[in-house]
Structure 1
Amino acid sequence: MTKRLRFTRRLNIALSEDAYRRLRKFSDEAGITQDEALCFLFENFGSVTDDEALPHRLRLFKAELEDRKR
């Protein structure tokens, strides 16, 4: 039996414009809402990320973070 999708937690999140556009594009292409898209991504995080690329991408993001905040 499949789990029922219930939104039991509400988050007030901040996204960059690029991240928001990518979330909208992903949800539109998948035919689901943005809430459903975020649930899918986090519930399946291990399978939708590349274990070898993730640490590298995270290091790059963190290295650029200060510059991006300006």
Structure 2
Amino acid sequence: MPKRLRLTRRFPVAMTNDAYRRLQSFAREAELTQDEALTFLFEHFNSVTNHENLTARLRLFRAELEARKA
């Protein structure tokens, strides 16, 4: 029997316009709500990301973070 989807945790999220548009697009393509799309991504994080790419992208993002905050 499949595990029931119970969205019991809520948290305020702030994101860039680009990230929000990408979330909306992904959710629409997958025929999910935005909550369901985020749940899917985080429940399956290790299988939907490439560890090497993630590490490299994270390093770049952190290096650019101060400039992006300005």
Q: Same fold (TM over 0.5)?
A: yes
Normalised by the size of structure 1, how large is the TM-score? 0.98
- Structure 1: gaps spanning 5 or more residues: none
Distance 2:28 2:8 in 1: 23
**2:26 maps to 1:12:** no
Normalised by the size of structure 2, how large is the TM-score? 0.98
Distance 1:12 1:23 in 2: 15
Aligned residues: 70
For 1:24-63, list aligned pairs within 5 A. 24-63=24-63
Task: Considering Cα pairs closer than 8 Å and 6+ residues apart, tell me whether 1 or 2 has the greater RCO.
Answer: 2
- Structure 2: gaps spanning 5 or more residues: none
Which residue does 2:22 correspond to in 1? 22
Distance 2:47 2:12 in 1: 25
